[in-house]
Structure 1
Amino acid sequence: MADDRTETSSQVSSQGDHGSVDSGFVSPSSSTAHLPAVSLTPAHLNHLNKQLESMDPMDILRFCKVFFPGLYQSTAFGLTGLVTIDMLSKIDAESKNPQPIDLIFLDTLYHFQETYDLVERVKERYNVRVHVFKPADVETTQEFENLYGEKLYENSSELYDWIAKVEPLQRAYSELKVAAVLTGRRRSQGGQRGDIPVIELDEERGIIKINPLVNWSFAQVKAYIDEHKVPYNALLDKGYKSVGDWHSTVPVAEGEDERAGRWKGQDKTECGIHNKQSRYAKWLEQTARQQRGQQEVPAA
């Protein structure tokens, strides 16, 4: 998938070389090693959210392009992210000096082929740069499974999320010097997303998160896709509404929540990148203590 519009990164130390429990970051070169590029007081953040709450997503995006330095879009090429990409292209077309927003794509190595095909179609349609970040030190699914074993996503889902998603994203933030990031989260998706604001501060990562389509419903998103003929994942025509890894995504039944097909049957609604970093740092620390304890137990 690599070409002149794609940048792939697999640099960083192994996941076992993790940092403090508080930070949740794996190395001193991570994005908490320096102050955030944008600092907003709670009062300022509240003021911005009050002003942006009733604004159209296009106007929110126009504002964010002017206001935030180091702005990127993190996307798995779901419908909401695709709408954002299309809107940004239209905003650039209005300008005599367009400044496209680069994309960050986490290649877990377990995406559907339809997702990889969509990435190529988006790059061709919008001429946008895609920075691809994979799990550290591996390039293929086979290399990943040689290192961590088969079905890590089943045998240790927390470890899988850390290696395949959380660590690559924080590496992306660090290497690209990301200050603010556009996401595809919407309140209508439910779960932990039910009351998110337009702009929020991820204090652990030192990142401003912006949810430009936070107020839109799935129907509004799909209507925009259809009206503007935005390329989308072929799986949506097969009953999928939210597409992640092939091993944890199934079609959605009539009347189900649009993210009901993600981790179906599991007590889980997020893949990790929108969870607190300290959750994974504490888990890693606990795992390390358990391993040390087992090593110290004398043989019978």
Structure 2
Amino acid sequence: MTNSTATLDRTLGELDLVGRLRLIADTGQPAIFTTSLGIEDQVITEAIATAGLDIRIVTLDTGRLFAETEALIAETEALYGIEIERFRPETPAVDGYVRTYGRNGFYDSVEARHACCQVRKLEPLARALDGAEYWITGLRRGQSGNRAATPYAEADAARGLVKINPLADWSLADIRAHVERHAIPVNPLHARGYPSIGCEPCTRAIKPGEPERAGRWWWENDAKRECGLHVVKVAS
């Protein structure tokens, strides 16, 4: 973490949610919030919309989302009078994946699953973040062991921007209380045991006592599995 990013991290830690978002918006630099329409992201969307902050809101429409997620995009746009920009995978890339691995080939190997995430999520994300100085996410420390040390601000050297995690210190109980207090619409799948929601074929409800993200890519053994959106490998 650079000195400037460390200073920003400390400053953000002293502010409330709207204050954290406003600080970034007021820099005048391009800021992008990527939402998966999960409960954390809905909290951030509501804060951006009601405060009228100059932060673009985008989502990765992978083509394999739950119907409930698709419906929530439209509901959220209508409620807050905003546009959630959709970034979709390139059709030739999807077709190439299907030819190589099959439509649901991600179940067969980690390599195939990563290839699917590359086509449906990472490449669209790169387009969504093109030109951004700040990338705002809904990451929280309590979501998984892999995210336990999530800072408020961190340099993403591979993408050439600063990632902002304004909910880093919020617990799931904090999130739920905030949603109820502000009547924020959330995905009905949360009430059915899905605390973390991604693509439909790659997400299941969790069992009692399981971590929040245990339902993501559940057929793999790595407890710290991720799709690559928030785990960047930098060449040595």
Cα deviation per residue 1:27-79 (whole Å; 9 max; x = unaligned)? Answer: xxxxxxxxxxxxxx811111221222232112111211112510111111111
TM-score by length of 2: 0.89
Give the equivalent residue in structure 2 for 1:35.
none
8 Å contact kept, 2:32–2:129? no
The aligned runs of 1:214-233 (5 Å cut-off) are 214-233=168-187
- Unaligned 5+ segments in structure 2 are none
Q: Closer, same or farther in 2 for the Cα pair 1:124/1:143, shift >3 Å? A: farther
Q: 1:163 to 1:75 in 2, by over 3 A?
A: same
Residue 146 (structure 1) shift: 6.1
The answer to whether the 8 A contact 1:104-1:131 is kept is yes
1:157 has 2:113 as partner: yes
Is 2:13 aligned against 1:59? no
Query: Looking at CA atoms only, which structure, 1 or 2, has the larger radius of gyration?
Result: 1
TM-score (norm 1): 0.71
- Structure 2 match to 1:37: none
Query: What SS does structure 2 have at the residue aligned with 1:256?
Result: coil
In 2: Cα distance, 1:252 partner to 1:208 partner? 32
Look up the equivalent residue of 1:45 and give its one-letter code.
Answer: T
The alpha-carbon distance between structure 1 residues 68 and 78, as it changes in their structure 2 partners (threshold 3 A), is: farther
Q: How does 1:100-179 map to 2 (within 5 A)?
A: 100-137=54-91, 145=98, 149-155=102-108, 156-174=112-130, 177-179=131-133
Q: Equivalences for 1:87-106 in 2 at 5 Å?
A: 87-92=47-52, 99-106=53-60
Mapped contact 1:123–1:129 kept (Cα < 8 A): yes
Q: Deviations 1:129-186 (Å, cap 9, x if unpaired)? A: 22211111359x8897468622132241121111111111112222xx2221110000
Alignment coverage as a number of residue pairs:
231
Native 8 Å contact 2:97 2:116 kept in 1: no
1:190 counterpart (144, 147, 150): 144
Q: Secondary structure at the match of 2:59?
A: strand
Instruction: Give me the identity figure in percent.
Output: 31
Q: Which amino acid aligns with 1:190?
A: S
The aligned counterpart of 1:3 is: none
Report the alpha carbon displacement of residue 265 of structure 1 after superposing the two structures with TM: 3.8
**What is the rounded CA distance, in whole Å, between the counterparts of 1:143 and 1:270 in structure 2?**
23
Alignment-derived partner of residue 5 in structure 2: 45
Give SS of 2:190's match. helix
Give the Cα separation in 2 of the matches to 1:167 and 1:79: 24
1:199 aligns with 2:160: no
Correspondent of 2:165 among 199, 211, 217: 211
Show structure 1 runs of 5+ residues with no match: 1-40, 93-98, 283-300
Contact 2:2 2:155 in 1 (8 A): no
| CA RMSD of superposed structures (Å) | 2.3
